[in-house]
Amino acid sequence: MVATLLHEIPLEGGDVTDGVVRVGDTVRRPVSASTPAVHALLRHLEVMGFAGAPRVLGVDGLGREVLTYLPGVSGVRLESVTDEALEGLARLLRDYHDATAGFPLTLDGWEGGSNDDRAPDVLGHCDLTPDNVIFRAGRPYAMIDFDLARPTTRLFDVVTTLRHWAPIADPVDRPPLLRNLDVGARLRLFCDAYGVPPRDRRRLLELARLRFQRSYTVMRGRAAAGGNWAKMWAGGAGERIRRAAAWLDVHEDELHAHLV
Ligand SMILES: Nc1ncnc2c1ncn2[C@@H]1O[C@H](COP(=O)(O)OP(=O)(O)O)[C@@H](O)[C@H]1O
Ligand SMILES: [Mg+2]
């Protein structure tokens, strides 16, 4: 058990979990049904020498998980994500996936099933949003918040990351400076840096479409239960997914051409 110190600094970067705090060089977070599985994963990553994730230190006297605090900036603005940073993010995801090798891909202990219909080939993070990536000196070097981790496909994790970072979004839902962004070029850059094989590149946009449908339904279901998901839904999360899917339909051929 890790002693609880008195000085707690609230961390408000995320939308979902209330009560995330920093205490010295540690972070304390409420536990959930998947916490034991996440801790096993983080310990596996530590053994594999993967430096881009927090270490597990245990559970504190208040029953919260204790993780190492990773210094830097999370929630970077998309306008500041250069091509080099995007490539760095692709390599971070690739290194993470490679470091999960040997970790069991059974669904026991994880909440929810694989997000893809294909057989799982990796233990995915599944939520690599800007809030969940830590930058230092302009470079992404670590990922946090493994609450949605589960066995899935590498491609699903790639698609989710691109949804947020390319981004695969209707221009009205992007920062003004990014409305004319060449999204296809960003998809390609990311896939090249990750090393996404040709068969996966051909399926990437199809999986993006499936992901939009599923995340719409899943989020609507969670929002119905109230809490922070309901706030996100009321803030237009569902409409943004619908607009992104419609934008993808219109631009699919042009985006696909960059990938294959
Ligand atoms: N290990 C960590 N190191 C540094 N910052 C962290 C760490 N864990 C959480 N944070 C900060 O707290 C915020 C919210 O934590 P997170 O685990 O992502 O919760 P949520 O489920 O609400 O998204 C993050 O966006 C980040 O700014
Ligand atoms: Mg988060």
What digits encode the pLDDT tens for the residues 207-254?
Answer: 999 999 999 999 999 999 999 999 999 999 999 999 999 999 999 999
Is the residue at 65 inside a domain? no
Return the pLDDT at 3: 57
- Residue 127 CA, closest ligand 1 atom number: 23
Tokens of 146: 């493994």
The total of structural domains in the chain comes to: 1
Return the pLDDT at 16: 77
Ligand index nearest the alpha carbon of residue 9: 1
Return the pLDDT at 148: 93
Range of the domain at 231: 73-259
**Cβ–Cβ under 8 Å, residues 52 and 65:** no
Measured distance CA(44)–CA(147) in Å, rounded? 16
Measured distance CA(227)–CA(51) in Å, rounded? 33
For the segment 129-144, the average pLDDT, to the nearest whole number, is: 97
Is the residue at 184 inside a domain? yes
Measured distance CA(41)–CA(29) in Å, rounded? 16
Is the residue at 2 inside a domain? no
Interhelix angle 198-224/227-234, rounded to 10 degrees, is: 110
Measured distance CA(116)–CA(47) in Å, rounded? 28
pLDDT of 1 strictly over 90: no
Between the CA of 254 and the centroid of ligand 1 the distance, in Å, is 36
Is the residue at 152 inside a domain? yes
pLDDT of 6 strictly over 90: no
- Residue 54 CA, closest ligand 1 atom number: 1
Which class for 238: exposed (0-12), middle (13-18), buried (19 or more C-beta within 10 A)?
A: middle
Three-state secondary-structure class, residue 174: coil
Q: Which of 202, 209, 217, 211 is nearest to 246 (CA)?
A: 209
Label residue 12 by pLDDT band (50, 70, 90). Answer: confident
Residues 6 or more apart whose CB falls under 8 angstroms from that of 28 comprise 4, 8, 19, 20, 21, 22, 60, 62, 64, 65, 66
Question: Could you read off the pLDDT of 181-190 as tens digits, one per residue?
Answer: 999 999 999 9
Question: Could you read off the pLDDT of 190-199 as tens digits, one per residue?
Answer: 999 999 999 9
Pocket of ligand 1 (CB under 6 A): 11, 13-17, 20, 27, 29, 54, 67, 69-70, 74-75, 131-132, 134, 144-145, 147
Measured distance CA(188)–CA(244) in Å, rounded? 19
Between the CA of 249 and the centroid of ligand 1 the distance, in Å, is 33
CA atoms within a 13 Å half-sphere pointing along the CA-CB vector of 82: 8
CATH code (residue 164): 1.10.510.10
For the segment 34-59, the average pLDDT, to the nearest whole number, is: 98
pLDDT of 15 strictly over 90: no
Q: How high does pLDDT run on average in the chain?
A: 95
